[in-house]
Structure formats: structure tokens, C-alpha cells
Amino acid sequence: MEVKDSNGTILSEGDSVFVIKDLKVKGSSSTIKRGQVVKNIRLTNSADEIEGRVDKQVMVLKTCFLKKS
């Protein structure tokens, strides 16, 4: 299973990505700002989601809002 970012670049475990759009966090009033770097990502069982640590919290992010750095 290949996991690809918004540009079609293949992502792998441990890559760094950055957010290309402001994202609202479900269940919280906070947002993830455009340009925020997510380091050391982990792949999930889904081809369109990754796990990453954002502001000291582990979150699942959609790959369509990410770009490999």
C-alpha cells in the first residue's frame, strides 16, 4: 500500500511533512496552522491517513492536506 501526499509524492515512516491548509481540530477549539511541520510521521492501515505529533499531541491527519518537506 502506497501512501501519497497532496502532490502524489510517496510518504514513508519517519518522513517530515507540512500542512498546506489551516485545519480545525475536531473536539477542540484549536487549529493546526498552514505551514506547521509534522516530523517523524507513522503510517496507518489507511492509505489516506498518517499519524503525527502536533503540539505534543498525537493526531491522525488526512494526506490530502499534507506535503512532504
* 46: CATH: 2.30.30.40
Please work out, in degrees rounded to the nearest 5, the angle formed at the alpha carbon of residue 23 by the alpha carbons of 2 and 7: 35
pLDDT of 15-69, one tens digit each? 999 999 999 999 889 899 999 999 999 999 999 999 999 989 999 999 999 999 9
pLDDT-derived band of residue 11, with 50, 70 and 90 as boundaries? very high
Model pTM score: 0.90
Contact 34, 20 (CB under 8 A): yes
DSSP class of 49? E
The whole-angstrom separation of Cα 30 and Cα 38 is 16
The whole-angstrom separation of Cα 60 and Cα 43 is 10
Query: Which pLDDT value is given to residue 28?
Result: 87
Residue 50: give the domain boundaries: 3-68
Helices (H), 1-69: none
Count of the separate structural domains present in the chain: 1
